[in-house]
Amino acid sequence: MAVYAMTGGATGIGAAIREQLCDAGHRVVSVDLRDADICADLSDYNGRQRAIDGIRQLCPEGIDGFIPCAGVGPSVKPPSLIARINYFAAVAVTEGVLDLLEARGGRVVMIASNSAPMVPLNDYVELLLDGEEEAACELADSRDTHSAYAGSKHAICCWLRRRSGELARRGIRINAVAPGIVQTPLSEKVLTDAELGQAMRDFGDSVPLGCIGQPKQIADVVSFLLGPGADYMTGAIIFVDGGHDAMLRPDDF
Ligand code: NAI
C-alpha cells in the first residue's frame, strides 16, 4: 500500500484520482475546501500552511506521491484568484512536502492544461515563476481570466521542468498531465459562462477524438505516472486531450 497526498480530491478530476487510488488499496490524504481529510482554503498563505501541516501530521513517515489537483477555471473572478490557487498554492504545497516525498522516493503529478501553450512565457508567467504573488495578481486582475488561467498552467509546466533535474537527484520524479476539456463542475461553469461559454462549446466540438474527456481518463494517466511503469519519467507533460494539442500545434513539441 502506498500513501498519497493530494489537493482538490472532493470533486471532478481529483475525486476520480482519489477513488482510483483508494480502489487500488492505497491510502489517500486529501486537502480541499470541504469533504476532505484536511479542510483548507488554498488561496492564501494560512490555508496552504494548514495543508502542509496537516499532511505532515497525518503522514509522518513520508508520502509516495503528491497530486496538487485543486484548481479553479477560467470563468472565475477576480483573475488573481486563479493565479493564487492554480499556481501559487500548487507550488507552495508541493515545496512544503518535498522532504516527505524524498523520504519515500516519491512522485509528484501536477495537473496542467492543454491551454498552457496557448499563452507565451510573458510578463505574467515570469512573475508567477519568480514567486511574486502580489505583483502577478495585480497584473492578472488587469487582464482577462483566460490569460490568467492559461498563464497559471504555463507557469506550472515551466516550474516543474525547471525543478525536475534537481528533484531527480533527490529521488523525486515530477511530471504533469495536461487535460483538455473534461466533464467536471469546473468545466460546467465555463461551458455555461456568458462570456466564455460559446468559445468553450466550439472548442469542445472540435476535439479530434469527438468528445470531451471524463475524469477517469485523466485519473488513469495520473495513476500510471504514480506507478512503477513511469520509473524513467520525470519532467514530462502528457497531453490527455483527445488530440487537441496535436491538432493545434502539430509541429511544435
Ligand atoms: P472541480 O471544480 O471539479 O474540482 C476542483 C477542486 O479544487 C474542488 O474539489 C474544489 O473544492 C477544489 N478547490 C478549488 N478552490 C480551492 C481552494 N481555494 N482551496 C482548496 N481547494 C480548492 O475541477 P476539475 O475540473 O476537476 O479541476 C481539477 C484540476 O484540473 C484543476 O487544476 C483544473 O485547472 C484542471 N483542469 C481541468 C480541466 C477541465 O476541463 N475540467 C481541463 C484542464 C485542467
Evaluate if pTM is beyond 0.85.
yes
Q: Exactly one of 4, 124, 149, 232 is catalytic; which is it?
A: 149
pLDDT digits (tens, 9 = 90+) for 106-134: 999 999 999 999 999 999 999 999 999 99
* 142 domain residue, yes or no: yes
55 within domain boundaries: yes
Mean pLDDT of 126-151: 97
Q: Which three cell numbers stand for residue 193?
A: 459562462
% of the chain at pLDDT higher than 90: 100
Q: State the distance from the centre of ligand 1 to the C-alpha of 70, rounded, in angstroms.
A: 5
For residue 32, the enclosing domain spans: 3-180+218-242
Domain assignment of residue 252, yes or no = no
- Position 232 confidence tier, pLDDT thresholds 50, 70, 90: very high
- Structure confidence at residue 158 as a pLDDT band (50, 70, 90): very high
Residue 186 lies in a domain: no
What is the spatial distance between Cα 165 and Cα 171, in angstroms, rounded to a whole number? 10
- Strands (DSSP E) contained in the chain are 3-7, 27-32, 38-39, 65-68, 107-111, 173-179, 237-240
User: For the chain, how many structural domains are there in total?
Assistant: 1
Task: Decide whether any atom of ligand 1 lies within 6 Å of the 179 Cβ.
Answer: yes
> CA distances (Å), 154 to each of 5, 120, 121, in order?
23, 8, 7
Query: Which CATH number belongs to the domain containing residue 69 in this structure?
Result: 3.40.50.720
Instruction: For residue 38, tell me if it sits in a domain.
Output: yes
Tell me if 251 is assigned to some domain. no
Ligand 1 centroid, distance to 69 Cα (angstroms): 6
Residue range 25-56, pLDDT digits in tens: 999 999 999 999 999 999 999 999 999 999 99
The answer to whether residue 201 is domain-embedded is no
Point out which residues pair with 67 in neighbouring strands.
6
| Ligand 1 centroid to residue 2 C-alpha, Å | 24
* Catalytic site includes residue 4: no
In a domain, residue 213? The reply is: no
